[in-house]
């Protein structure tokens, strides 16, 4: 992709109404645009990152036996009255059509997925079952000032699991802890993301959050210095020791909840009377779990955690392009041909390249490259050619290095 | 994928409240589920078809220079008041939050994409520009009885093009006619889909619809028997001859509008004052076009057009799986191993296989395979092995044929 044709330009200043670092950087770099508080458009660069995040999550959910579906946003009022949440959920958007029918705009999908499962789950042979979707959610947030960390409209992966008994749920729940850990590791925030014990509500002793430590966090967690497990504010009010290893050495941190997993048990299957017949033909309640990750929130968190004073730093797996190729040839036509040739060879090999072909000074191009944060930057210049080839610099590292053209192309062979 | 584990079972009968063939078949075959009138969930099979359709459209839009973005559904009232459509559009869902702020649920995105373009388009150098998204739309349809042909919530591809003058728009518009033609050809409905002249509103003489002939169509078109171009009801009221070749031999047909393209010119750029500076530094209005395709509608149309009395018939490019492998081994353990081996080899080669491992009679399995409509069915049975290998039958053809195992695996090499 030619940068001169990319929709979304870099800006020197962030809009004055944005306070969150993630929004400031993502807007300045041309990844997102704010339509109104808590409601953003993903521009081409941001959309590419979102698709990368989505692909990782999809891969991991499929590997965990999840079957992908797509549920709607317009939910009949009846379904929400069945669970009592039509009245109890404060941040539920409600919309009425001209015939007076009322709908909720889905902020979560238990009210849809349980009646759906009821149509196809009859016997113990139909269990276990795991359904997920990656879909737009709506929540009437009154304070939407955290950029894409907390939106009024946002994309979530929500998976719902259905089991014959609590033991089967428990085994799947444990497995999902590992799946989530891997997702956050692949996003480059594994080291600062802690499995966090949270209150389980009325059904389970605990639920679990995945909390990423950063000053931008709206939550407070207490991290065990021995085992790395954390507990949230609610839990720390009741107990002062780590529920995993028993240590009482906890350090308080600000953190962002990037995911959560919850043993719902019969909380939603009971009101919809979702049951199955066991081997003896006896009706048994279906036991459920749910597992959420916010994709935009995750993208914002990666920015908050990894950005430096020069701009965004994407880990390789979510970088919008594999390489940011900078043309510094200026009026040197021979060199321009050489750089162009590198761009064409990479493109022909299927490498996702952003090619900075803009008519700007080197300093401006490098500053934009740092702001955009593509994981690898490559320069073919008189200097690099004199030194033996291509200057490669990883965004997360301080120093670049010269590699031969041959070695350079080999970097992209998978 | 093992069919025994696939979420979504086939049904003998369609729900009594569905009248449309597409909904009846897609529900019976386990592709979709109705949440309420005009609002459907895509089950795993339906989701796979949707993704195939999405991939084809994305490929063609990218090839046409489109840059993909993702705009939100919650649109500020202000934007819709600027164009006058807050009051004039009858089927607009309106939603209010607790602080009294009003939003439209986007049924189309001119009100968002034009102010967005205004932030980045300043000069003739920023044009032309083509932005698109594949995103959920909302329309308060009062008669939602056509299955997924006409939803209250539905997924659309909407592309918006921005030009410096009408000539540049006209050239892009012509190009998009070809792009759309190719999309519908790849979906297997090219032969019955006609470029149709429609009223252009106040700005252009004509707009164009792509209308697919089928008895399920809610529109009436008049197809020129000479050149294959059609005109819609509005246009035929004013003129009786084909606007393309002048012939007056037109045949009346029922049709579904699967896509439309529209020269907006300054209809939406004017109210938002979207201008650019030309070479002389003079402000000029940006000239626009828009180009839509409904993905669910397209999926429903393919079902309406291609299904036969036994069930759905997917063209290869949108089939949810590449092959439907049927296990008829029953209690023959040796044969079972052989079929299992074929399944594993295909899976290992990355072929998308639905493997009917269910404990059912051959007749039931074949009936379900016909209902599901996967483009190729394969059977490894005593009979097929005796005849030399695997029985392959394409859903769109009447007769199967025996191929050797070696030839069979070669069918999937790309």
Each residue of A353-365: pLDDT tens digit? 999 999 999 999 9
Q: Which of B40, B49, B72 to mutate to test the interface with A (most CBs of A within 10 A)?
A: B72
**Given an 8 Å threshold on Cβ–Cβ distance, is B120 in contact with A69?**
no
**Given an 8 Å threshold on Cβ–Cβ distance, is B43 in contact with A69?**
yes
> Residue B22, CB half-sphere, CA atoms under 13 Å: how many?
27
Least confident of A48-62, A194-208, B21-35, B106-120: A194-208
- Residues of chain A in contact with residue B97, where contact means CB-CB under 8 angstroms, are 93, 140, 152
**Given an 8 Å threshold on Cβ–Cβ distance, is A119 in contact with B33?**
yes
Quick check: B84 contacting A, CB < 8 Å? no
**Given an 8 Å threshold on Cβ–Cβ distance, is B74 in contact with A152?**
yes
pLDDT at position B198 over 80: yes
Q: What is the pLDDT of residue B144?
A: 81
As a whole number, mean pLDDT of residues B70-96 equals 97
| Residue A2 maps to a domain | no
Determine phi and psi for B385, rounding to 5 degrees.
Answer: -65, -40
Q: What is the pLDDT of residue A167?
A: 98
Q: How high is the ipTM of this complex?
A: 0.97
As a whole number, mean pLDDT of residues B36-56 equals 97
**Cβ count near A413 (within 10 Å):** 7
**DSSP per position, A282-350:** -EEEPEEEEEEEEHHHHHHHHHHHH-BTTB----GGG-SSSEEEEE--TT-HHHHHHHHHHHHHHHHTT
pLDDT band for B180, please (50, 70, 90 cuts).
very high
Q: Are both B131 and B204 inside the same structural domain?
A: yes
pLDDT at position B271 over 80: yes
**Cβ count near B128 (within 10 Å):** 19
Q: Are both A149 and A205 inside the same structural domain?
A: yes
Q: Give the whole-angstrom CA distance, residue A358 versus residue A325.
A: 11
- In 3-state terms, what secondary structure has residue B344? helix
pLDDT band for B99, please (50, 70, 90 cuts).
confident
**Given an 8 Å threshold on Cβ–Cβ distance, is A70 in contact with B50?**
yes
| Residue B312 maps to a domain | no
- Domain CATH number, residue B115: 3.30.930.10
**Residues B293, B258: contact at Cβ < 8 Å?**
yes
- Residues of chain B in contact with residue A136, where contact means CB-CB under 8 angstroms, are 73, 136
As a whole number, mean pLDDT of residues A94-115 equals 95
∠ CA A289-A290-A292, rounded to 5°: 155
Q: What is the pLDDT of residue B356?
A: 98
Q: Are both B126 and B246 inside the same structural domain?
A: yes
Q: Are both A292 and A355 inside the same structural domain?
A: no
Q: Are both A290 and A332 inside the same structural domain?
A: no
Round the average pLDDT of chain B to a whole number and report it: 96
pLDDT band for B316, please (50, 70, 90 cuts).
very high
- Domain CATH number, residue A366: 3.40.50.800
Q: What is the pLDDT of residue B195?
A: 97
Q: How many domains does chain B have?
A: 2
> Residue A161, CB half-sphere, CA atoms under 13 Å: how many?
27
Q: Are both A156 and A216 inside the same structural domain?
A: yes
pLDDT at position A168 over 80: yes
Q: Which of A202, A210, A182 is nearest to A291 (CA)?
A: A210
Q: What is the pLDDT of residue B143?
A: 78
Quick check: B362 contacting A, CB < 8 Å? no
Q: Which of A286, A294, A47, A247 is nearest to A162 (CA)?
A: A286
pLDDT at position B261 over 90: yes
Quick check: B111 contacting A, CB < 8 Å? no
pLDDT at position A51 over 80: yes
Round the average pLDDT of chain A to a whole number and report it: 96
**Given an 8 Å threshold on Cβ–Cβ distance, is A39 in contact with B74?**
yes
Say how many residues make up chain A: 414
Q: Are both B33 and B123 inside the same structural domain?
A: yes
Between residues 287 and 326 of chain A, which touch chain B (CB distance below 8 Å)? Answer: none
∠ CA B27-B30-B33, rounded to 5°: 55
- Residues of chain B in contact with residue A94, where contact means CB-CB under 8 angstroms, are 95
Q: What is the pLDDT of residue A334?
A: 94
Q: What is the pLDDT of residue B204?
A: 82
Q: Give the model confidence (pLDDT) of B286-308 as tens digits.
A: 999 999 999 999 999 999 999 99
Q: Are both B301 and B352 inside the same structural domain?
A: no
What is the domain extent for residue B365?
321-410
Helix (H) or strand (E) holding A104: strand A102-105
Q: Are both A244 and A290 inside the same structural domain?
A: yes
**Residues A245, A229: contact at Cβ < 8 Å?**
yes
- Residues of chain B in contact with residue A76, where contact means CB-CB under 8 angstroms, are 35-36
Cα-based distances in Å from B8 to A191, B42, B212, B304, B369: 39, 10, 29, 21, 14
* Residue showing tokens 């889909």: B193
- Residues of chain B in contact with residue A9, where contact means CB-CB under 8 angstroms, are 120
Question: How many angstroms separate the CA of residue A153 from the nearest CA in chain B?
Answer: 7
pLDDT at position B138 over 80: yes
Q: How many helices (H) and strands (E) does chain B have?
A: 12, 21
pLDDT band for A413, please (50, 70, 90 cuts).
confident
As a whole number, mean pLDDT of residues B164-182 equals 98
Question: How many angstroms separate the CA of residue B261 from the nearest CA in chain A?
Answer: 22
Q: Are both B179 and B248 inside the same structural domain?
A: yes
- Residues of chain B in contact with residue A140, where contact means CB-CB under 8 angstroms, are 97-98
Quick check: A6 contacting B, CB < 8 Å? yes
pLDDT at position B202 over 80: no
Q: Are both B362 and B291 inside the same structural domain?
A: no
Q: Which of B35, B61, B135 to mutate to test the interface with A (most CBs of A within 10 A)?
A: B35
As a whole number, mean pLDDT of residues A288-315 equals 98
Quick check: A144 contacting B, CB < 8 Å? no
pLDDT at position A307 over 80: yes
Note every long-range contact of B89-98, with CB atoms under 8 Å and residues 24 or more positions apart, other chains counting: B90/A98, B90/B140, B91/B139, B91/B140, B91/B141, B91/B142, B92/B139, B92/B140, B93/A95, B93/A97, B93/B138, B93/B139, B93/B140, B94/A95, B95/A93, B95/A94, B95/A95, B95/A105, B97/A93, B97/A140, B97/A152, B98/A90, B98/A140, B98/A142
pLDDT at position B81 over 90: yes
pLDDT band for B329, please (50, 70, 90 cuts).
very high
The encoded tokens of residue A304 equal 């908050």
Say how many residues make up chain B: 414
Quick check: A69 contacting B, CB < 8 Å? yes
pLDDT band for A178, please (50, 70, 90 cuts).
very high
**Given an 8 Å threshold on Cβ–Cβ distance, is A95 in contact with B72?**
no
Question: How many angstroms separate the CA of residue B94 from the nearest CA in chain A?
Answer: 7
Q: Give the whole-angstrom CA distance, residue B39 versus residue A71.
A: 9
Q: What is the pLDDT of residue A203?
A: 76
Q: A45-64 burial by CB neighbour count: b if 16+ within 10 A, else e?
A: bbbbbbbbbeebbeebbeeb
Task: Write down which residue in B250, B281, B306 finishes a domain.
Answer: B306
């Amino acid at each position: 992709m030619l940068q001169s044709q990319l929709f979304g330009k870099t800006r020197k200043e962030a809009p004055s109404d944005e306070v969150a670092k993630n929004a400031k950087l993502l807007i300045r770099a041309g990844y997102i645009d704010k339509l109104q508080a808590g409601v953003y458009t993903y521009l081409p660069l941001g959309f590419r990152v979102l698709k990368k995040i989505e692909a990782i999550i999809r891969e991991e959910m499929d590997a965990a036996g999840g079957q992908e579906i797509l549920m709607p946003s317009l939910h009949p009022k009846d379904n929400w009255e069945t669970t009592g949440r039509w009245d109890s959920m404060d941040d539920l958007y409600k919309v009425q059509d001209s015939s007076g029918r009322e709908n909720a705009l889905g902020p979560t999908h238990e009210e849809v997925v349980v009646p759906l499962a009821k149509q196809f789950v009859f016997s113990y042979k139909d269990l276990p079952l795991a359904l997920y979707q990656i879909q737009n959610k709506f929540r009437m947030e009154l304070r939407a000032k955290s950029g894409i960390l907390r939106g009024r409209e946002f994309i979530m992966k929500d998976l719902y699991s259905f089991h014959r008994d609590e033991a089967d749920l428990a085994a799947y729940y444990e497995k999902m802890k590992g799946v989530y850990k891997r997702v956050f590791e692949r996003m480059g925030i594994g080291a600062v993301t802690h499995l966090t014990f949270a209150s389980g509500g009325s059904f389970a002793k605990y639920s679990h959050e995945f909390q990423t430590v950063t000053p931008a966090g709206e939550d407070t967690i207490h991290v065990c210095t021995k085992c790395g497990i954390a507990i949230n504010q609610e839990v720390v009010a009741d107990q002062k020791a780590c529920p995993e290893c028993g240590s009482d050495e906890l350090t308080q941190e600000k953190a962002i909840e990037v995911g959560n997993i919850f043993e719902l048990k019969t909380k939603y299957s009971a009101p919809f009377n979702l049951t199955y017949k066991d081997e003896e033909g006896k009706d048994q309640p279906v036991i459920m779990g749910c597992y959420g990750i916010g994709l935009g929130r995750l993208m914002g968190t990666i920015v908050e955690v990894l950005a430096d004073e020069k701009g965004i730093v994407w880990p390789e797996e979510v970088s919008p392009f594999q390489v940011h190729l900078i043309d510094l040839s200026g009026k040197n036509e021979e060199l321009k041909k050489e750089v162009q040739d590198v761009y064409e060879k990479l493109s022909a090999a299927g490498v996702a390249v952003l090619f900075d072909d803009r008519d700007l000074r080197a300093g401006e191009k490098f500053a934009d490259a740092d702001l955009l944060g593509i994981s690898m930057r490559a320069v073919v210049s008189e200097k690099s050619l004199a030194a033996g080839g291509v200057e490669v610099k990883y965004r997360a590292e301080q120093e670049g290095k010269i590699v031969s053209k041959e070695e350079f192309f080999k970097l992209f062979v998978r």
